[in-house]
Amino acid sequence: MGDILIAIKMKSIIKYLFVLALSLSVIPLYAQHNKAEKQVVYHKIIHKNLEGNLVNQSHGRAIVALCYDNQEQTCQSSLLNALKKSFIEQGVSFFVLKDKLSGRNTFQLTTKAEETIKLLRDSASCWHLNPYDIGIMGFGVGGYVAAMVSCKASFAERPNFSLLFNPVISGIDLKRSGLLADVALPSKNAVQSVNETWSVTPFVRRHLTPEAALFLTNDDVVVNPLQNGVAYYTAMRGNGNNCSLFIYPKGGHDFGLLADDVCRKLLIDDVNSWLENHQPIATPQSIRVACIGNSITDGAGIDLASEKGYPAVLQQLLGKGFAVRNFGVSARTLLRRGDLPYVNELAWRDALAFNPNIVVLKLGTNDSKPENWRFNDGFERDLLAMVDTLQALPAHPKVYLATPIPAFKPTWNINDSVIANAIMPIIRKVARKRHCKIIDLHTKYAPYGELMQADGIHPTAEGAAKMAEIIAEDLSECDVKK
């Protein structure tokens, strides 16, 4: 055990020293910049494997490209140069993280990418970047690393969007690339084992994996688009996440080697168009609103809940100046002894890392089930613990406790009597103790039973919009400003 602890500590120290050294090496270069320049130009930051191009008059967006020394280097070099020129003209700061694949494993590659994203966020103020508009891009194996970082990295190290070009997504194609050469495979069901262990798609998370744009060629014989890029799109769309898919009939794995190739011209135009049409909602000045809850917050049963769930509609109602995030997870309980406690979820950790100014906390529906409510003596304690954790965040958010909407049917053993007569009084009691405001969804949503799905538990898209209206009304102007 002692050896394990020492190894963990050494890993943390090495990671810290890497980021510190990188920060110290690039900041002096930035300080040499002549602020009197008026034309839109850029200057370079170079340190070991990282090359950065900071745009003087940037709007805050930055993209990190992953470039590896494999068979795709020729493609990456020419295409990266074309994209760099295009990005800089748009005011996008552009960074290239170069590395070798030989002797590397996926953990080492993803760790370096994560550290670079974290570096950009930590340096956002002095580099005039928007920490909520940091993207990542990759080609082939680089696309695999970019996608894996998008799915598995912690909130601080996870990009806000990803651009994936003929990416490797499946474990078996990653094995063919040679990156898993040292991984021993079982004799039986080898393909299934590799895909289950190393494929990206199982790690796509609803609301938490950032939006992506995939650029594929139909005639790519190096990376099969169906098993890779299309599979990632399917996983994203299946989870209700925003994702765009561009497929070109010809161009090969390298999208055409020549700058005047039709495929390459279309590709660059499409990348620019996608970036132009996907502007960030959040800025450092935004009022951050975290919507925490179960499947009703998540938007279960609503197609494209990322656009039609109540948090998305709340964003539309509150408008510019606000950044609303959906941290809902289906079937979760407030009770720590419930069958699926919310506090065990990545969404809870992400919500805390988001450091919100306002929190709408709506849990309790699943706690009303008999199998969960038998632990009712812990409900007040667990709710107090959640509120205390939220209020202790650096932003000291205003916490709104929303009562569950009515359970119009006893589906899945959900008990509206328990909600109304047992859970809601505890929510009100905690609100008084911790000076939280109540959003009484149970009462205010009661007249809208026709806006429910067939199960009587989840609202339709129209019902979610009504919920958002009720919540927006209760977020008073005074509290929002505070």
Mean pLDDT, all residues of the chain:
88
Where exactly are the structural domains of the chain? Answer: 42-277, 287-478
Nearest to 360 by CA among 290, 296, 440: 290
84-138 per-position pLDDT tens digit? 999 999 999 999 998 887 666 788 899 999 999 999 999 999 999 999 999 999 9
Beta carbons of 177 and 141 less than 8 angstroms apart: yes
Rounded to whole angstroms, how far apart are CA atoms 31 and 41?
A: 15
- Tell whether the model's pLDDT for residue 139 goes beyond 70: yes
The residues near 153 (Cβ < 8 Å, ≥ 6 apart) are 110, 114, 117, 159
Please check whether the two domains, 42-277 and 287-478, share a CATH topology: yes
What is the DSSP secondary-structure string of 434-465?
HTPEEE-HHHHTGGGGGGB-TTSSSB-HHHHH
To which H or E segment does residue 137 belong?
A: strand 134-139
Distance in angstroms between the alpha carbons of the first and the last residue of the chain: 48
Q: pTM score > 0.95 for this model? A: no
- Topology annotation, domain 287-478: Rossmann fold (3.40.50)
Nearest to 427 by CA among 475, 366, 379: 379
- Tell whether the model's pLDDT for residue 30 goes beyond 50: no
pLDDT band at 3 (very low <50, low <70, confident <90, very high): very low
pLDDT above 70 coverage of the chain, percent = 82
Amino acid symbol at 114: E
pLDDT band at 184 (very low <50, low <70, confident <90, very high): low
To which H or E segment does residue 44 belong?
A: strand 42-47
The residues near 288 (Cβ < 8 Å, ≥ 6 apart) are 282, 322, 323, 325, 354, 355, 356, 357, 358, 395
CATH number for domain 42-277, candidates 3.40.50.1820, 1.10.3720.10, 3.90.1640.30, 1.20.1250.20: 3.40.50.1820
Order of strands across the sheet that contains 358-362 = 322-328, 287-293, 358-362, 398-402, 437-439
- Rounded to 5 degrees, what are φ and ψ at 50? -110, 125
299-313 per-position pLDDT tens digit? 999 999 999 999 999
Nearest to 302 by CA among 140, 464, 173: 464
Rounded to whole angstroms, how far apart are CA atoms 116 and 121?
A: 9
